[in-house]
Amino acid sequence: MAKKLDIQDMILTLQRFWASKGCMLMEAYDVEKGAGTMSPYTFLRAVGPEPWNAAYVEPSRRPADGRYGENPNRLYQHHQFQVVMKPSPKDIQEYYLDSLRALGIEPLEHDIRFVEDNWENPSMGCAGVGWEIWLDGMEVSQFTYFQVVGGLNVSPVTSELSYGIERLASYIQDVNSVYDLERGDGVLYGDIFKEPEYEHSKYAFEESDQKMLFNFFNDYEKEAHRLIKLGLVHPAYDYILKCSHTFNLLDARGAVSVTERAGYMGRIRRMAHLVAQAFVDEREKRGFPLLKHAQENASQKEAD
Amino acid sequence: MTTHNYLLEIGLEDMPAHVVTPSIHQLRDRMAAFLKDNRLAFADIHEYATPRRLALLVSGLADKQTDESTENRGPAMKIAQDKDGQWTKAAQGFARGQGGSVDDLEVRDVKGTPYVFYQKNISGQPAAQVLPKVTEIIEAMTFPTRMHWNSYDFEYIRPLHWFVSLLDDTVIPFKVLDIEAGRTTQGHRFLGEPVALKNATDYETALAKQFVIADEDKRGALIKDQVTQIANDHGWRIVMNRDLFEEVTNLVEYPTAFAGKFDKKYLELPDAVLITSMRDNQRYFYVTDHNGELLPDFVAVRNGNTDHLENVIKGNEKVLVARLEDAVFFYEEDQQHTIADYVEKLKTVMFHDKIGTMYEKMQRVAGIAHYLGERFELSDEELTDLDRAAHIYKFDLVTSMVGEFPELQGTMGEIYAQLQGEKPAVAQAIREHYMPTSADGKLPESKIGSVLAIADKMDTIMTFFGAGMVPSGSNDPYALRRQAYGIIRILQEHRWHFPLLRIQAAIVSQFQKKNQVPQLKLDKIKGLNDFFVDRVKQFFSTKDARHDIVDAVTENQEVDPEDMFAAAQVLTHEAKKDTFKGTIEALTRVSHLARKAKDEEPVVDPALFQNPSEQKLYDAVEKLKVDVPNLSIGDLYQRLQELRPIIDAYFDENMVMDKDPKIQNNRLQQLRQIREIAKLFGNLDGLIVK
């Protein structure tokens, strides 16, 4: 590799690349979540008939993966570079490979493989078909064609690409620990994130107030259901995300027995299904604005 | 006649490795059926398959379809023509319907009645006109998972990208979705270029130039050669696990094997952990020395050539080390806790929502295992070890290592149990209780492991049946059939008796006494006997047993697989002898007549005998009845065979269906007694004798 990109350049490179493929660059969504997929820019936009092309960096919080900043590869919060394109473009695999080239990863100098991995997120009622992408044996991205989202069969299909930023950066920068990564301008990842990693791990495993969290979960759930009934889709969705994160905190604390686990996941899944349907209903009332937009674009092109 | 070559290639995004081989076989079968249905003769169909393509080369393909003539029958002559010999409306309608006129009708007799016939000759179409219909077989393909993409309603294993359809040098056009078939195939994703094929037969060589080894067997052979070469160069032994080999073959289009290494310090991890990390997670072949000791090396296969191989090796080494680091962490962490801690934790792990926790399952299985251990006459020491194993055998499920590598369940249990000072026999049983894990998988080697394996499976089957989750049709999500089959195989291996209904009753009463799974309706379990009989039949089917013998020994009785195996063995042996026919015929005759007997206590009264042959048979049967409980099934057969001349004489001399109902019944009851004894073999009536 000619030059080693820092994380910041990596993100800028991916943003430029995907913008050139027609993706809107969105910002990270400001409610805690366990995966980029749970951003409303993916989850909600994947249902219904409207087209959608977007790219964004999403911090993903997984309390159970916290390691007090001590494990070189496992993190309470990692970052994903998320690309969603709907309907899935014919050449999406080639786009992905071109994005690696843009990052300085020349496929001819490596071993890149698409290894079957059918993705599932049962608590959000999601399932898809796709691959893990292996770069010299390391999984660096997840590639999914969504089939079911929020319990709804989807058409058109969204293709989702999720780059594990720290993983990929560790490879590009050739470091053994994420904390040695260069974030940007010479600043090390560890200098920024080691402390929050420790504190969040300490909180999630030792200090979280279980009783409070259980109450939160119930309140958030109640609020989400109330808002869904009012057709207030986005506020409702925020509360579902809060439920999910609260559950993850409780789970990390070992506060949820295996039997209860299934019950909580079922409750989140029910909300996810209701909100997905509510989203489609509300968009329909507005005449699916992005669909109109796409049709206008298409007819404009024909006229040209 | 000139023949042709036809190439069909389906190009698509990377298929799952395990789908490639079955899919190409399926495509070939569909092509063969398609050509046959369309009356196109061919000599051979060659398969090509990689993760990105499924292709067939049909050779010796006929120029055109074979001609076909069909003959359709119309109305009878008396309806087809009127009295004046004029064609009626009915005849005209029929001829028109066939696409001809009444002039084309022929008259022929069918069983003495004249009918009109219309003979249709269809001349064969050129192959080029028939082949566009291959879209039918492309669309008919089935896959274990299917997906949608873009905005299509269509589903396939992965998105479709291109089709090649060439009859010799001519494109046979067709269209699926918006993809037009043509002559251009794609080379290796990185090393190759698209290439326009001149002729169907150029396929394999043209692709080889573009770094695609399209023939799966040749690709596999290449991998084998390369791996062997590496092994020889280093003096290693490399175990080519078959599943892994097939997977690797179908993960690449152009294989290059390479060796990598890891730090020796990781060899302190249990072999099973190292092997799982390499084989299952990374698809590497592990490496041993000539004594089978693991070495800190591995061999993997790249999808590409040798250029920049050093990057690939380095990357793969780095990934493996990260995995092994994790494993070391789990291994050390797991040893911080005692088995008792883990057992306690099993109270929070569900076996199944409707049944209860893993802890409760162990409690039940401990009871079953002890009961069976006594039945199978284990020694006191074995019983003690069995009890210990049965009380802890699921503990490793809650260790971090098994959490990370679920496929190591049992294996880690054995390792950790030994580290914590459990007896080797106990540790071994913990590992063995999962066995066999497939229909022809390995059986437990130890007696304790065998009993624990049976007890664990028996508990699973009975509690699932009790919770109403009974397998039906292809629906057996908990693999209960496989587990029952496992029980049968273990029993057969040890020649243990297993009177199912009695054991079932003993287990149910044990559960009830201890108030275990009170929510299940265990005394209402139905069909367990038939469920096991079907598994016994399955077992026989793998032994090439005679069907009539299998049916005979598995019918009509409570399952004790051991009795069935023994009976089948005796009958199979005896069936080769000349005496078999006479013996079985005599017994079958007895059996048929005995069915007419009143269903009452079969008492025979010698006072009603009319002939000496009756007394003779009576005496012989009385003696046999006394001896039966102590006879092996082989001896029993001998005794029944000895009865034959006495039975024959009996039938010669006596009319069983006597006019006097008392005498008649007396004789029928005598026959019934013989029938009851013969039933120890099952039901002999259906045996084939020649």
- Quote the mean pLDDT of chain A: 93
Q: Is A269 found in the same domain as A169?
A: no
Match 């209903």 to its residue by tokens: A281
Residue A2 located in a structural domain: no
* CB–CB contact B308 A138 (8 Å): no
Any domain includes A13 = yes
- The whole-angstrom distance between A93's CA and the closest CA on chain B is 8
Q: Are residues B236 and B169 in the same domain?
A: no
Cβ distance B479 to B323 under 8 Å?
no
Domain boundary among B485, B513, B530: B530
What is the tally of structural domains in chain A? 2
Residues from B in contact with A at Cβ < 8 Å: 13-18, 51, 145, 147-151, 153, 158-159, 161, 189-191, 251-252, 282, 300, 302-304, 307-308, 311-312, 314-316, 318-320, 322, 325-326, 329, 348-350, 353
Domain-located, residue B324: yes
Is A297 among the domain residues?
A: no
β-strands A52-61, A24-25 pairing: parallel
CB count, 10 Å around CB of A286?
9
Angle at CA B657, nearest 5°, toward B651 and B661? 135
Alpha helices for chain A (secondary structure H): 7-20, 92-102, 165-173, 189-202, 210-229, 233-252, 258-285, 289-303
Q: Which of A113, A115, A129 sits opposite B147 (nearest CB)?
A: A129
Whether A68 and A183 map to the same domain: the answer is: yes
To the nearest 10 degrees (0 to 180), the angle between helices A7-20 and A92-102 is 140
A162, containing H or E segment: strand A159-164
Does residue A293 register a pLDDT over 80?
Answer: no
Q: If you average pLDDT over residues B302-310, what whole number do you get?
A: 95
Nearest to A111 among B51, B150, B302 (CB): B302
Quick check: B149 and A257 CB within 8 A? no
Q: Which residues of A touch B282 (CB under 8 A)?
A: 137
Q: How far is A147 from chain B (nearest CA, A)?
A: 7
Among candidate residues B148, B181, B209, the one where a domain is terminated: B209
Partner residue opposite A88 with nearest CB, options B14, B149, B311: B149
Same domain, B116 and B59: no
Q: Same domain, yes or no, for B230 and B319?
A: yes
Instruction: In whole angstroms, give the CA distance from residue B156 to residue B152.
Output: 11
- DSSP-derived 3-state class of residue B367: helix
Backbone angle region of B556, left / alpha / beta, with phi > 0 → left and psi within -120 to 50 → alpha = left
Nearest to B79 by CA among B65, B69, B63, B93: B93
Asked if A118 lies within 8 A of B145 by C-beta distance, the reply is yes
Strands of the sheet with B3-12, listed across from one edge: B44-50, B53-62, B3-12, B160-167, B170-171
Among B557, B587, B560, CA closest to B571: B587
Are the C-beta atoms of residues B636 and B684 closer than 8 Å to each other?
Answer: no
Cα nearest neighbour of A259 on chain B: B350
Closest CA to B187 of B213, B163, B209, B210: B210
Answer whether residue A1 is part of any domain: no
Looking at the structure, do residues A232 and A133 belong to the same domain, yes or no? no
Q: Is the pLDDT of residue B320 over 90?
A: yes
Q: How far apart are CA B202 and CA A253, in angstroms?
A: 63
Residue A294 DSSP SS3? helix
pLDDT band of B557, cuts 50, 70, 90 = low
pLDDT at A161 > cutoff 70 = yes
Residue B307, token pair as written in the block = 């250029």
Of B71, B83, B77, B84, whose CA–CA distance to B112 is shortest? B77
Decide if B447 is inside a domain: yes
Q: What is the DSSP letter of B276?
A: I
Q: Tell me which DSSP letter residue B524 carries.
A: G
Please check whether residue A300 lies inside any domain of the structure: no
Q: Which letter does DSSP use for residue A203 in this model?
A: I
Among residues B576, B577, B540, B575, which one has the least CA distance to residue B555?
B540
Q: Are A57 and A117 within one domain?
A: yes
**Residue in A with minimal Cα distance to B329:** A71
User: Does residue B18 sit in the same domain as residue B131?
Assistant: yes
Together in a domain, B484 and B630? no
The span from the CA of B545 to the CA of B570, in Å, is: 12
> What pLDDT was estimated at residue A296?
80
Query: How far apart are the two ends of chain A, measured CA to CA in Å?
Result: 43
Asked if A7 and A182 touch (Cβ cutoff 8 Å), the reply is: yes
**Per-residue pLDDT averaged across A150-162, rounded?**
96
Residue A243 and residue A164 share a domain: no
Contacts of B51 in chain A (CB under 8 A): 114
My answer on whether A139 and A279 are in the same domain is no
Are A88 and B147 an interchain contact pair (Cβ–Cβ within 8 Å)?
A: no
Instruction: Please check whether residues A198 and A217 belong to one and the same domain.
Output: no
Residues of chain B found within 8 Å of residue A145, distances taken between Cβ atoms: 147-149, 159
**If phi over 0 gives left and psi between -120 and 50 gives alpha, with beta otherwise, what is residue A252?**
alpha
The Cα-based distances of B584 to B286, B550, B628 in angstroms read 58, 15, 19
Q: Give yes or no: residues A70 and A178 share one domain.
A: yes
Question: Do B285 and B308 belong to one domain?
Answer: yes
Round to whole Å and give the CA distance between A21 and A19.
5
Sheet holding B285-288, edge to edge: B237-238, B285-288, B294-303, B255-261
CATH number at residue B20: 3.30.70
- Tell me the angle at which helices B561-574 and B528-541 cross, rounded to the nearest 10 degrees: 40
Task: Identify whether B496 is part of a domain.
Answer: yes
Q: Is the pLDDT of residue B658 over 90?
A: no
Tens digit of pLDDT for each residue in A70-80? 888 889 999 99
State which of A175, A204, A233 marks the end of a domain: A204
- As a whole number of Å, the CA-based R_g of chain A is 20
Its sign, for the CA torsion B577, B583, B588, B591, is: negative
- φ, ψ dihedrals at B451, nearest 5°: -65, -45
Our CA-based measurement puts residue B472 at a distance from the nearest CA of chain A, in whole angstroms, of: 26
For residue A1, pLDDT over 50 is answered with no
Q: Are residues B410 and B505 in the same domain?
A: yes
Q: How far apart are CA B402 and CA B412, in angstroms?
A: 7
Is B32 found in the same domain as B151? yes
Q: Give B80-83 contacts, CB < 8 A, sequence gap 24+.
A: B80/B105, B80/B115, B80/B116
* A208-235 per-position pLDDT tens digit: 999 999 999 999 999 999 999 999 999 9
- pTM: predicted TM-score of the whole model, two decimal places: 0.81
Q: Does A168 share its domain with A257?
A: no
Q: Which of B146, B178, B209 is the last residue of a domain?
A: B209
Q: Are B319 and B281 in contact (CB under 8 A)?
A: no
- pLDDT for B420 equals 95
Of A204, A239, A262, which one is at a domain's C-terminal end?
A: A204
Q: What is the pLDDT of residues B430-464, one digit of tens each?
A: 999 999 998 889 999 999 999 999 999 999 999 99
Nearest CA to B559 out of B613, B633, B504 is that of B504
pLDDT in tens, A8-22: 999 999 999 999 999
**Cβ B282–A87 below 8 Å, yes or no?**
no
**Averaged pLDDT of chain B:** 92
Nearest to A93 among B13, B190, B348 (CB): B13
pLDDT of residue A303: 67
Which residue in A136, A147, A156 is closest to B150 by CB distance? A156
Domain range spanning residue A114? Answer: 7-204
Chain A residues close to B247, C-beta within 8 Å:
none
Nearest to B359 by CA among A258, A266, A65: A258
Phi, psi of B609 (to 5 degrees): -65, 140
Q: Residue A50 is encoded by which pair of tokens? A: 């409207």
Distance in angstroms (rounded) separating the CA atoms of residues B638 and A110 = 74
Does the residue B89 lie in any domain? no
Q: Would the CB atoms of B251 and A262 count as touching at under 8 Å? A: no
Distance CA B304, CA A107 (A): 10
Check: complex ipTM more than 0.90: yes
With 60 as the cut, is the pLDDT of residue A244 above it? Answer: yes
CA distance B458 to B29: 41
The CATH number that applies at residue B377 is 1.10.3210
| Beta carbons within 8 Å of B676's beta carbon, 6+ residues apart | B602
Give the single-character DSSP code of B608: G
Cα(A120)–Cα(A129) distance, rounded to whole angstroms?
A: 9
> Rounded to 5 degrees, what angle do the CA atoms B492, B497, B501 make?
115
What is the Cα–Cα distance from B552 to B678, expressed in whole angstroms? 11
Return the DSSP state at B326. Answer: H
User: Cβ B329–A110 below 8 Å, yes or no?
Assistant: no
Choice among A59-73, A197-211, B539-553 with the minimum mean pLDDT: B539-553
Per the domain annotation, does A73 fall within a domain?
yes
Please report, for the domain that includes residue A77, its CATH number. Answer: 3.30.930.10
CB contact under 8 A, B304 and A113: no
β partners of residue B260: B298
Residue B690 scores a pLDDT above 80: no
Chain A residues closer than 8 Å to B319 by CB:
136-138
Q: Structure tokens of B115?
A: 């009918």
C-beta separation of A128 from A118 below 8 A: yes
Amino acid A198: pLDDT: 97
- What confidence score (pLDDT) does residue A16 get? 98
d(CA B425, CA B429): 6
Q: Give the pLDDT mean for B588-616.
A: 88
A269 and A125 assigned to the same domain: no
Of B145, B147, B311, the CB nearest to A110: B311
Structural domain boundaries enclosing B28? 3-65+127-209
What is the total count of domains within chain B?
Answer: 5
> What are the tokens at B25?
């076989």
Whole-angstrom Cα distance, residue A217 to residue A213?
6
Domain assignment of residue B366, yes or no: yes
CATH number at residue A268: 1.20.58.180
Are residues B609 and B501 part of one domain? no
Residue A168 lies in a domain: yes
Q: Is residue B399 part of a domain?
A: yes
Note whether B353 contacts A259, CB cutoff 8 Å: yes
**DSSP class of A35:** S
Given a cut of 90, whether residue A203 has pLDDT beyond it is yes
> Are residue B193 and residue B156 in the same domain, yes or no?
yes
Domain annotation covers residue B421: yes
Q: Would residue A229 count as lying in a domain?
A: yes
Q: Do A62 and A170 share a structural domain?
A: yes
CA B146 to chain centre: 23
Asked whether the predicted pLDDT for residue B144 surpasses 80, the reply is yes
**Residues contacting A112, CB < 8 A, separation 6+:** A97, A100, A133, A134, A135, B190, B303
Residues B169 and B204 in one domain: yes
3-state secondary structure of B238: strand
**Residue B431 in domain:** yes
- Is B308 in contact with A259 (Cβ distance < 8 A)? no
CATH of the domain at B630: 1.10.730
The answer on B195 and B109 residing in a single domain is: no
Q: What span, in angstroms and rounded, lies between the C-alpha atoms of B487 and B435?
A: 9
**DSSP code per residue over B578-599:** THHHHHHHHHHHHHHHHTTS-S
Cβ pair A136:B312 closer than 8 A: yes
Q: Residue A28 corresponds to which amino acid?
A: A
A165 shares a domain with A227 = no
